[in-house]
């Protein structure tokens, strides 16, 4: 039970900010295309910085563009409680993924301001750079560098497909900040997010109390076969890179199914180097990933993929190179923060259930250094990473209320 059980965020104000920011990168189909460090990302960052400053927060930006908006606490010897998410989207993303958690954090601050409530510990609203990982890899890039899993120098030098570096992209939108990566301290971290899956909606529950996050392993692959004439090369003499990839895609699907229900595998990108309708594809690059909440299963999938690749490459007389570019072991959130989230949901009379996060989140990174947990709310049909992504205003508000009361519990809030 928090000290201010009747306090609620402003549901209309939260919703209006979500719709307002959806203008930056709006797509004709009603979604958002706001790739990290793009012009549109720069626009939403400028909007966010101005809104935070208007709410009395002091905004700092680190070398990788991570944004931290600080609200003083009564005890400035305490490290701030961090909360927030990300404002970048997938190429065909929606209005809520990341945005809800970031703008709900701002809404919590606005609510505290309106009610004249001071917290004991300072608060820090966060917008992490490149959570999505679709323009630059890895995903969770800003938060992983913050916790020391990657150096800032390594990340600054990473290139997108158009060969622009992270450093150049930061400079282009003016978000290579002066603060040292990792310098911002936290006493804990909480992230609100849409579920991006179907469970809450199917069970008619409003709040997911996220206890674990799936482990993730990402690969970049290259298949080298041999280009030759589509009309005159007999089938048994072909070294077809696309036919090889097709077999590999089905093998990855089969591996995930075999180790299910707690395993998923995807090939999300594939590019034929020099496509032509009458040339047998000779070279293909692709990306693939596995996820599982179980570390042992993740390793089994990894080993299974190596074996399958060796077998397919030998039989088809092609070369398959596979680089493991990122591996994040499963995340186990902190019992105290989990209890604060559940307690907040109970105080507010909201139906809830424990959950495992299928998607990756910046909270996974923060869990490595401070007590952390997450709050989920339902999204329509469980759809995300899609322009159709949608969530109810009342669920967004319920999630933000749980965030508010979790923050009050962890940071110690009382009327000033
Ligand atoms: C990011 O959204 C991910 O889960 O890959
Ligand atoms: Mn997200
Ligand atoms: Mn996402």
Facing residues of 221 across strands?
286, 322
398-408 average pLDDT score: 98
Pull the structure tokens for residue 328: 């994040």
- Pairing between β-strand 81-85 and β-strand 188-194 as defined by DSSP bridges: parallel
Pairing of strands 67-71, 81-85: unpaired
Could you tell me where in the chain the CATH 3.30.70.360 domains are found? 215-328
- Residue-wise pLDDT for 158-213, tens only, equals 999 989 999 999 999 999 999 999 999 999 999 999 999 999 999 999 999 999 99
pLDDT at residue 129, rounded to an integer: 98
CA of 326, nearest ligand number: 1
Cβ proximity of 400 and 15 under 8 Å = no
Pairing, β 81-85 against β 123-127 = parallel
> Cα(347) to centroid of ligand 3, in Å?
29
pLDDT band at residue 415 under the 50/70/90 scheme: low
Centre of ligand 1 from the C-alpha of residue 360, in Å: 4
- CATH class of the domain whose range is 11-213+331-415: alpha beta
pLDDT digit string, tens, across residues 41-91 = 999 999 999 999 999 999 999 999 999 999 999 999 999 999 999 999 999
Of all ligands present, the nearest one to the C-alpha of 87 is: 2
DSSP for 341-382 reads HHHHHHHTT--EEEEEESS--HHHHHTTTS-EEEEEE--GGG
* Cα–Cα distance for residue pair 384/382, rounded to 1 Å: 7
Listed residues: CB within 5 A of ion ligand 2: 97-98
- Measured from CB, residues less than 6 Å from any atom of ligand 1 are 132-133, 139, 359-360
- Token pair of 270 as six digits: 């594939």
Residue nearest to atom 3 of ligand 1 (CA): 360
Segments of the chain assigned to CATH 3.40.630.10: 11-213+331-415
- Residues contacting residue 163 through CB under 8 Å, at least 6 positions apart: none
Q: Which atom of ligand 1 is nearest to the CA of 385?
A: 2
pTM: 0.96
**Nearest atom in ligand 1 to 98's CA:** 2
How many CB atoms within 10 Å of residue 29? 10
How far is ligand 3, taken at its centre, from the CA of residue 194, in Å? Answer: 10
1 pLDDT more than 80: no
Q: Which of 182, 41, 13, 38 is nearest to 98 (CA)?
A: 41
Among candidate residues 26, 62, 30, the one with its CA nearest the CA of residue 388: 30
CA of 324 to the centre of ligand 3 (A): 21
Q: What's the gap between Cα 70 and its chain centre? A: 22
Pocket test for ligand 1, best of 361, 362, 374, 382 (most atoms within 8 A of CB): 361
Cβ count near 117 (within 10 Å): 17
Give the architecture-level CATH label for domain 215-328: 2-Layer Sandwich (3.30)
User: If we measure between CA atoms, which residue out of 306, 217, 321, 225 comes closest to residue 263?
Assistant: 217
Ligand nearest to the CA of 192: 2
Taking a C-beta distance cutoff of 8 angstroms, is the pair 192, 125 a contact? no
Query: Ligand 2 centroid vs 131 CA: distance in angstroms?
Result: 7
Burial 314-347 (b: 16+ CB within 10 A, else e): eebebebebeeebebebbebbeebbebbbbbbbb
Contact, 355 vs 331, CB < 8 A? no
């Amino acid at each position: 039970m928090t000290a201010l059980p009747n306090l609620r965020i402003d549901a209309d104000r939260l919703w209006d900010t979500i719709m307002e920011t959806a203008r930056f990168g709006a797509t004709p189909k009603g979604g958002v295309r706001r790739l990290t460090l793009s012009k549109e990302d720069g626009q939403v960052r400028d909007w966010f910085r101005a809104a935070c400053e208007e709410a009395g927060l002091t905004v700092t930006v680190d070398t990788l563009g991570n944004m931290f908006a600080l609200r003083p606490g009564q005890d400035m010897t305490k490290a701030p409680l961090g909360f927030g998410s990300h404002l970048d989207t997938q190429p065909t993303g929606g209005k809520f993924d990341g945005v809800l958690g970031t703008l709900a954090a701002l809404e919590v601050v606005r609510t505290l301001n309106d009610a004249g409530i001071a917290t004991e510990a300072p608060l820090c609203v966060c917008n992490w750079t490149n959570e999505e990982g679709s323009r630059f890899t890895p995903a969770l890039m800003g938060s992983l560098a913050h916790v020391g899993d990657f150096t800032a120098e390594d990340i600054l030098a990473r290139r997108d497909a158009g060969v622009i570096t992270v450093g150049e992209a930061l400079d282009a939108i003016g978000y290579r900040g002066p603060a040292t990566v990792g310098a911002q301290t936290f006493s804990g971290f909480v992230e609100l997010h849409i579920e991006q899956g179907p469970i809450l909606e199917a069970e008619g529950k409003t709040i997911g109390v996220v206890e674990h996050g799936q482990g993730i392993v990402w690969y970049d692959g290259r298949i080298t076969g041999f280009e030759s004439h589509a009309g005159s090369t007999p089938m048994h003499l072909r070294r077809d890179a696309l036919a090889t990839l097709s077999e590999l895609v089905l093998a990855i699907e089969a591996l995930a199914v075999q180790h299910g229900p707690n395993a998923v595998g995807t090939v999300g990108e594939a590019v034929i180097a020099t496509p032509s309708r009458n040339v047998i594809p000779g070279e293909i690059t692709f990306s693939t990933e596995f996820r599982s909440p179980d570390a042992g299963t993740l390793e089994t999938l990894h080993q299974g993929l190596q074996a399958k690749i060796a077998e397919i490459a030998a039989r088809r007389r092609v070369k398959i190179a596979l680089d493991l570019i990122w591996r994040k072991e499963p995340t186990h959130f902190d019992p105290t923060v989990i209890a604060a989230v559940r307690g907040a949901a109970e105080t507010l009379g909201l139906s809830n259930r424990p959950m495992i996060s299928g998607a990756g989140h910046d909270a996974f990174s923060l869990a490595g250094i401070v007590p952390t947990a997450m709050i989920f709310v339902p999204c329509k049909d469980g759809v995300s990473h899609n322009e159709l992504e949608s969530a109810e205003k009342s669920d967004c508000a319920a999630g933000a209320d749980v965030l508010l009361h979790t923050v009050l519990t962890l940071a110690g809030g009382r009327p000033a």
